[in-house]
Amino acid sequence: MTTWLTPIPGLERRDPEHRYWLDDHLFPVSITGVLAHGKGEFAMGRIEATREVWAPRGNACHRAMELFLTARRPTAWQQAELEPVPPSSGDPLAELGELADGDYSDWIHPLLTHERWEQVEVIASERATCCLVRNVAGTYDTAFLDDQLPIPQGRAQGVNGPARVLADLKSLGANGSTYCTRAQLGGYMALEWSHGHWIDYGQTIWCRPGGTSFSPLYSRQDCLVAWAAAYTAYAEAHWPF
């Protein structure tokens, strides 16, 4: 039985301001903030103009996937001393049921019943991560092992086991278009490697009404190159931060 990735001690995200702290250190920017710098004013205006449409939908889909994956987590790991189970503020399965039957059921049901979940072993869900050198933090949606995938060349010394995939969930409208997510995935890969967690591939989960699809796999190199470009542009504009 594979254990989930251990939470980073002292790292927390404080909402609703959506800021990350590592003990008494406040991170000035998140992965999302770095990527937003690369979007033009027109693009950001369009995103904000439709927030009331995509924000509640995205929140519902992300929360449903988190509850679903957590419910499938091995019980033995939940009881491990390294990460005690926090007191429950409610019934997560009841909450999941309400979401699955709610306004976004056409998105959530295909997401949770996708065959991909039977092919992989999840090791993280809604995982916060950070890097003090880059001074960036963020939360990614899930990571999993897939023993059917080939192991790419170039793994760091000491990294072994099945291929590791880091995936991000995106909800779309019925006619929504997909877009490039490599920089975002690469950012999380870079942050996780600063804690010794290697990721082989990136993948996007596209959640639409009536169907969910998993994107083709993106190589680690492609994701890191895209992230490096985005981070460099942000740093040049905001350094020091």
Q: What would the pLDDT profile of 52-90 be if each residue is shown by its tens digit?
A: 777 899 999 999 999 999 998 875 344 443 444 444 457
pLDDT of residue 115: 97
Specify the fold of 11-238. Lambda Exonuclease; Chain A (3.90.320)
Q: Is pLDDT above 90 for 219?
A: yes
Angle between helices 105-112 and 92-100 (to 10 degrees): 120
Q: Which residue has better confidence, 39 or 190?
A: 190
Please state, in angstroms and as integers, the Cα–Cα distance from residue 158 to each residue in 100, 134, 192, following that order.
Answer: 41, 24, 16
Integer Cα distance of 193 and 47 in angstroms: 31
Q: What is the pLDDT of residue 71?
A: 94
Beta strands per DSSP E along 45-148: 121-131, 136-146
* Backbone φ, ψ for residue 116 (5° rounding): -60, -35
> Percentage of the chain with pLDDT > 90?
78
The answer to whether the beta carbons of residues 210 and 172 sit under 8 Å apart is: no
- Count of Cβ atoms closer than 10 Å to residue 95 Cβ: 14
Residue 152 pLDDT class (50, 70, 90 cuts): very high
Task: Report DSSP letters for 1-28, one per residue.
Answer: -PPPPPPPTTEEEETTTTEEEETTEEPS
Residue 88 confidence (pLDDT) = 46
Q: Is there a contact between 109 and 210 (Cβ–Cβ < 8 Å)?
A: no
Domain boundaries, the chain: 11-238
For residue 51, what pLDDT is reported? 75
